[in-house]
C-alpha cells in the first residue's frame, strides 16, 4: 500500500506553548489509522493544519501526492472531516445543510439528489431530510455530520472523536458504514478517539503526548511492547496460585495471573499441566498501553 499521508518534522507553537513538536508519521492508503493522545496533546492542532485551517510553523505535509503548501484546494477536495463539535447549521433542514455543502464541491441537481439518497439510506436518515437540525437528537445529528463529510466522496475521512457521547447502537451503525466504505471504496480513515476498543481495531496507532510521538505501531506490537498477558485460571485454590511466583488477583470464580508475555504463560502451563485445565489467556488492552506509554488515562486524568 502506498503512503497517502506523509508528515515530516511538523511544528506548531502558540506563544510559548509547543503544541506540535517535530511530528513524523505515515498513513497507508485504505487503512484505519488511530491518532491518540489526551486533550491538549496536539491531535486537533495537527488535524487543523492538515485541513488548511491552521498554518504550520515548519515541516512538510503531503496528502494524496499533493504538497499542502502548494496544493491546498486539491487536498481539500480529497478530504472529508467530522470535527469534535457539529458544524451543521441548526436553523436549516438536513436537506438544506447537505445541499449547501455539496454545492461547494460543484455537486448539484440530479448528481446531488443521487448522492444524498445513497447517504441517507446508508446512514439511515431518509425520514429526517425535512427536519431542522436543531430538532435532531445527538445520534441523529452525528449521522448527518458523517453524511456531510462524505458528500464529496472523499479519499480520506478524518474523524475527530466522532462517537463521543453516542449510544452503543448509533456507534455501531456509524462504524458499520465506515467499515463498508473502507472495504468497498478503499477509503482511508484518520481517527482520534477516547474509546480504546475503537483504537484496538486500527491498522496502525500513533500515540502523542505534549506534541511529540511517544509510541507507534500496530495494536499487537504496542500490546506486546507495553503490556503483559493475563491468565485467568479456574478451579484452583490460592495456595497453589502462590507457588507460581507471579503477581495475581482473586476473582469471583478464579484468579487472574499477570505474566510479562505469552512465552511466560506457556512456560507455566507446561510446568503445571494438572493445574491448567480450565483457563484463558488474554493480552493487555489498549487502555493499558496508553497508560504505560504516557502515564495518563486517555481522558486526561493522572
List Cβ neighbours of 227 (8 Å cut-off, separation of 6 or more).
283, 284, 285, 288, 289, 292
List Cβ neighbours of 243 (8 Å cut-off, separation of 6 or more).
none
Give tens-digit pLDDT for 76-87.
999 999 988 888
CA 283/CA 220 separation, integer angstroms: 9
Query: 302 pLDDT exceeds 60?
Result: no
Give tens-digit pLDDT for 262-278.
899 999 999 999 999 99
Among all chains, which residue has been given the C-alpha cell 498477558?
229
Threshold 0.75, pTM exceeds: yes
Confidence (pLDDT) at 151: 96
Among all chains, which residue has been given the C-alpha cell 500515540?
207
CA 70/CA 73 separation, integer angstroms: 9
Give tens-digit pLDDT for 97-147.
999 999 999 999 999 999 999 999 999 999 999 999 999 998 899 999 999
At the top level of CATH, the class of 229-284 is alpha beta
Confidence (pLDDT) at 39: 85
Give tens-digit pLDDT for 3-34.
999 999 999 999 999 999 999 999 999 999 99
- Parallel, antiparallel, or unpaired for β 229-234 and 3-14? unpaired
Query: 298 pLDDT exceeds 70?
Result: no
Sequence ranges of the domains in the chain: 3-217, 229-284
Give tens-digit pLDDT for 214-225.
999 999 999 999
- Domain 3-217 sits in CATH at 3.40.50.300
Among all chains, which residue has been given the C-alpha cell 496460585?
241
Give tens-digit pLDDT for 137-190.
988 999 999 999 999 999 999 999 888 778 888 888 889 999 999 999 999 999
Looking at residues 204-214, what average pLDDT do you find? 95
Confidence (pLDDT) at 301: 41
Confidence (pLDDT) at 169: 83
Amino acid at each position: 500500500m502506498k503512503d497517502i499521508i506523509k508528515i515530516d518534522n511538523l511544528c506548531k507553537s502558540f506563544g510559548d506553548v509547543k503544541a506540535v513538536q517535530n511530528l513524523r508519521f505515515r498513513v497507508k492508503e485504505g487503512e484505519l489509522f488511530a491518532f491518540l493522545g489526551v486533550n491538549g496533546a496536539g491531535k486537533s492542532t495537527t488535524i487543523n493544519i492538515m485541513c488548511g485551517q491552521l498554518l504550520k510553523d515548519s515541516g512538510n505535509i503531503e496528502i494524496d501526492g499533493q504538497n499542502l503548501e502548494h496544493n491546498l484546494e486539491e487536498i481539500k477536495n480529497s478530504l472529508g472531516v467530522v470535527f469534535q463539535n457539529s458544524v451543521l447549521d441548526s436553523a436549516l433542514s438536513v436537506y438544506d445543510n447537505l445541499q449547501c455543502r455539496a454545492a461547494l464541491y460543484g455537486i448539484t441537481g440530479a448528481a446531488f439528489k443521487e448522492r444524498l439518497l445513497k447517504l441517507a439510506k446508508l446512514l439511515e436518515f431518509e425520514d429526517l431530510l425535512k427536519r431542522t437540525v436543531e430538532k435532531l437528537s445527538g445520534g441523529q445529528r452525528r449521522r448527518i455530520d458523517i453524511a456531510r463529510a462524505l458528500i464529496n466522496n472523499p479519499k480520506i475521512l478524518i474523524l475527530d472523536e466522532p462517537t463521543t457521547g453516542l449510544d452503543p447502537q448509533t456507534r455501531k451503525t456509524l462504524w458499520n458504514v465506515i467499515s463498508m466504505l473502507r472495504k468497498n471504496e478503499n477509503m482511508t480513515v484518520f481517527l482520534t478517539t477516547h474509546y480504546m476498543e475503537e483504537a484496538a481495531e486500527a491498522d496502525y496507532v500513533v500515540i502523542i503526548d505534549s506534541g511529540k510521538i511517544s509510541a507507534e505501531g500496530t495494536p499487537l506490537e504496542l500490546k506486546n511492547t507495553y503490556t503483559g498477558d493475563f491468565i485467568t485460571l479456574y478451579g484452583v485454590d490460592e495456595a497453589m496460585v502462590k507457588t507460581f511466583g507471579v503477581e495475581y488477583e482473586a476473582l469471583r470464580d478464579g484468579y487472574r495471573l499477570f505474566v510479562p508475555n505469552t512465552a511466560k504463560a506457556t512456560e507455566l502451563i507446561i510446568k503445571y499441566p494438572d493445574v491448567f485445565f480450565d483457563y484463558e489467556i488474554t493480552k493487555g488492552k489498549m487502555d493499558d498501553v496508553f497508560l504505560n506509554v504516557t502515564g495518563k488515562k486517555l481522558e486526561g486524568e493522572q
